[in-house]
Homo-oligomer: A and B are copies of this chain.
Amino acid sequence: MARLPVAERRRRLLAAAFTVISRAGVAGATTRAVVDEAGMKLASFHYAFASREELLAELVGDVIERTEVVLAVPPAPGETLEQLLERGLLRYLDTVREAPERERAMFELTQYAMRTPGLEGLAARQYEGYRALAAVSLAEAAERTGCAWQRPLDEVAAHLVALTDGLALAWLADADDTRAHRTASFAARALSAESRPAESRPAESRPASARPAPTRPAPPAHTAPPTRPEPPTRPAPPTRPGEPA
Contacts and interface: CB of A to CB of B under 8 A. Distances in A.
A35 interface: no
Interface in A1-48: 24-27
A189 interface: yes
B173 A114 contact: yes
Interface string A173-217: 111000100110011011001100000000000000000000000
Given A104-B111, A186-B190, A162 B170 contact: yes
A124 interface: yes
How many copies the complex holds: the figure is 2
Bin chain A's interface residue count: 35 or more
A179 B114 CA distance: 18
A165 B172 CA distance: 13
Contacts of A183: 158-159, 162
Nearest to A113: B173
A174 B182 CA distance: 28
Contacts of A155: 179, 182, 186
A25 B116 CA distance: 10
Q: Which of A123, A159, A162, A167 has the most CB of B within 10 A?
A: A162
A110 B173 contact: yes
Contacts of A110: 169, 173
Contacts of A52: none
A170 B158 contact: yes
A24 B179 CA distance: 33
Contacts of A179: 155, 158
Interface of A: 24-27, 104, 107-108, 110-111, 114-115, 123-124, 126-128, 155, 158-159, 161-167, 169-170, 172-175, 179, 182-183, 186-187, 189-190, 193-194
